[in-house]
Structure 1
Amino acid sequence: MKAREARALGQRISTLLQTDPIGSAYELLAPVLAEPTSFAALRRIGSEIGHNPFERIDPFLMRIAEDKTEGGWPVISGILAAQLNQDLSSSLQRCRSFILEADIWYAADTLGEWVVGQAWVDHFKSTLDLIASWREDRNGWVRRAVGTSVHYWAKRSRGVEELTQQAKTLLSFLEPMFEEWEIEAVKGIGWGLKTLGKYYPDLGDWPEVI
């Protein structure tokens, strides 16, 4: 699916959601989720849908999550990322809820990168406060998403010198997680540290995990 086609489909679904919270809108999306579609295209579809307020799209989000398709999580990620500038706190709360609902690594990574990671890029200080508790979350997938979100931020930073202080802050933010024991969470945290170390190798002594 080309980018233009993905945006057009997202716009059609968005229009339908103004009168029908689920029904015909999901009928348009379901065939796309049932066939091989790039995550980038799925995210573009979600980005267009995300222009609607949460009151309108929450039932649709739940319907996507209910089927637990692999392609559904990029769509949800695109929707939530599109809402970050309007309602950061609610977007991150919903992100955590869907990580719990999915209960699988690829959803944790997709939501962690594209929602929380984008939140770091656009709303660094607020995100620092809003997801601090995720580091001690009882759910390992949520803890994993903290690491994948830092990976996304570091990848987007490209090592720009002006962002060095933010990189230092993120390294300190991850420090309480260095003794993580659950392997799936360790993988996400290690991923975040490895990418931070790649772009900001001079921050200090890096833990052996990278």
Structure 2
Amino acid sequence: MNQIYFTDQIIKLGHMGGYVISAIILQLRMEKHFEQSLNKAVEYILLGNEWYVCDIIGERIMGYFLLKKPEKTLPILKNYINDKNGWIVRSVGVASHYAVKKGLEKKCVEVTFCLLLSKTDTKDFHTKKGIGWALKTISKFYPDIIQKFESNLLANPSIQPFLEKNRNWPK
């Protein structure tokens, strides 16, 4: 518990580097304190209330947890994708980007891809950026997943902005 007190104190300072240090500490607690670390990650994202806080925490905690324990993390991300706070929704995209580029199993990438597609109709700029970042990463590393869903992608008007910006997606 002293680690949480320590990370809370670092976060209170409000420095960008403090988010990195706190995220790494929470990452190291994954095995014994999985849920508590994710809950703290959400708390820190909400406290930080900035895109860079969401990205630092989202990659290093949610993304790392998704990569290392996808079966445990995916159900939680399914809840986060529908959160009322845009930063928490964005964190799902950031986490997905990180996990995919670091080698997330293909079967989990496909589940993640479908999860992200459920939010392509978002109007929030920052949320759209996080989701788009992950979709772009998936298309780079797994173009076959994009091809598998090609007809659905082309038929969905909310996907069009993502298609126009990404050369790996069907036209």
Q: Which residue of 2 aligns with 1:200?
A: 142
Q: Distance in 2 between matches of 1:166 and 1:137?
A: 21
Q: How many residues align?
A: 152
| 1:143-182 alignment runs, 5 A limit | 143-157=89-103, 163-182=105-124
Matched, 1:65 2:11: yes
Q: Which residue of 2 aligns with 1:141?
A: 87
Matched, 1:81 2:23: no
TM-score, reference length from structure 1:
0.69
| 1:17-166 alignment runs, 5 A limit | 55-157=1-103, 163-166=105-108
Q: Distance in 2 between matches of 1:95 and 1:118?
A: 12
For residue 127 of structure 1, report the CA deviation from its aligned partner. Answer: 0.2
Displaced runs of 4 or more, over 2 A:
204-208
For residue 131 of structure 1, report the CA deviation from its aligned partner. Answer: 2.5
Q: Distance in 2 between matches of 1:180 and 1:113?
A: 21
TM-score, reference length from structure 2:
0.84
1:139-186: CA deviation from partner (whole Å, max 9, x where unpaired): 11111111010000111118xxxx221111111121211111100111
Q: Distance in 2 between matches of 1:180 and 1:101?
A: 22
For residue 103 of structure 1, report the CA deviation from its aligned partner. Answer: 0.6
Question: Gaps spanning 5+ residues in structure 1: where?
Answer: 1-54
Identity, in percent, stands at 27
Q: Distance in 2 between matches of 1:57 and 1:85?
A: 14
Distance 1:67 1:172, change over 3 A: same
Larger Rg: 1
Question: Gaps spanning 5+ residues in structure 2: where?
Answer: 154-158, 167-171
